[in-house]
Copies of this chain bind each other. A is one copy, B any other.
């Protein structure tokens, strides 16, 4: 099959790879895959990943192990963490923290920038008919956005700000808004802020007066940048919560004492519930079509990744 392969030197190329066979897992033919900020970080050396990247997808199940065929022929999205199945984390159903886990397209497991991929059937979720491929491919990042609601109290009385006007930020902002919270998107890219306004979100430019004046109950850093974290810490009120939603490679400098003096909580947030994400899509509580910048075939990957660096969501259609 054809796939994008990231080698040890950080070079990404279109390659002919051996097609996986289903074995103990399900074989899925990829219809769309999304390029995520983490993919861009992988190319910069994050997580030391070698293999086929890509962890946002929608596809059709082609093969399944004996007795696990319920999803064959169905359109699915998939959770990306695969646990060992026998540790205390897996026993609690928290496979995303299993120390032995593989993570599709990120850690010891090939991903979705390929014609075919493998995942256990327990990771797969059937997509409702009224959710299109272009929408369903957002299930993984949208689930990650939904994760915040399991970690932090967000409701009608919450004033929240999302730092970062990118693809993840605009999903997070819509998820928070779906609770009834007052939500502002802070960014520095006028075209992306325009998309935010099209989604009827309030916007502000990072660095504008706001930074010193207003402070928020919940601040989500979805910027994927050091400066976003710093802005988030300036924007949070005493006893407020900063949610770190995006990973970035490398280190940053910060002064911990304001976290202590203001008794701020900084909460790392990663993968989330797919059912909640699919439900938000089916109920039209989150709109993703305005976030799609372009769709490329596998062989257009160089342009696709270039576009993803500056723009919103770029899709691959293998």
Contact = CB atoms under 8 A, between A and B. Distances in A.
A261 B238 contact: no
Interface in A235-261: 238-239, 244-261
A80 interface: no
Copies in the complex: 2
A296 interface: no
A109 to B, nearest CB: 15
Contacts of A238: 89, 97
B249 A252 contact: no
Given A89-B238, A252-B256, A253-B252, A269 B263 contact: yes
A211 interface: no
A266 interface: yes
A264 interface: yes
A266 B260 CA distance: 10
Nearest to A237: B97
Given A256-B248, A257-B249, A263 B97 contact: yes
Interface in A209-224: none
A306 interface: no
Interface residues of A, number: 35
A314 to B, nearest CB: 23
Given A238-B89, A257-B247, A262 B97 contact: yes
A270 interface: yes
Contacts of A266: 259, 265-267
A268 interface: yes
A46 B239 contact: no
A178 to B, nearest CB: 22
A229 interface: yes
Contact of A260 (B256, B257, B269): B269
A262 B268 contact: yes
A316 to B, nearest CB: 24
A171 to B, nearest CB: 16
Contact of A268 (B89, B254, B261, B270): B261
A259 B244 contact: yes
A270 B94 CA distance: 32
B268 A263 contact: yes
B250 A255 contact: yes
B257 A254 contact: no
A270 B261 contact: yes
A218 B267 CA distance: 14
Interface of A: 46, 89, 94, 97, 151, 229, 238-239, 244-270
Nearest first, the 6 closest Cβ-Cβ pairs linking A and B are: A97-B238, A259-B268, A260-B268, A266-B266, A247-B257, A251-B255
5 contacts: A97-B262, A245-B260, A247-B261, A252-B254, A261-B270
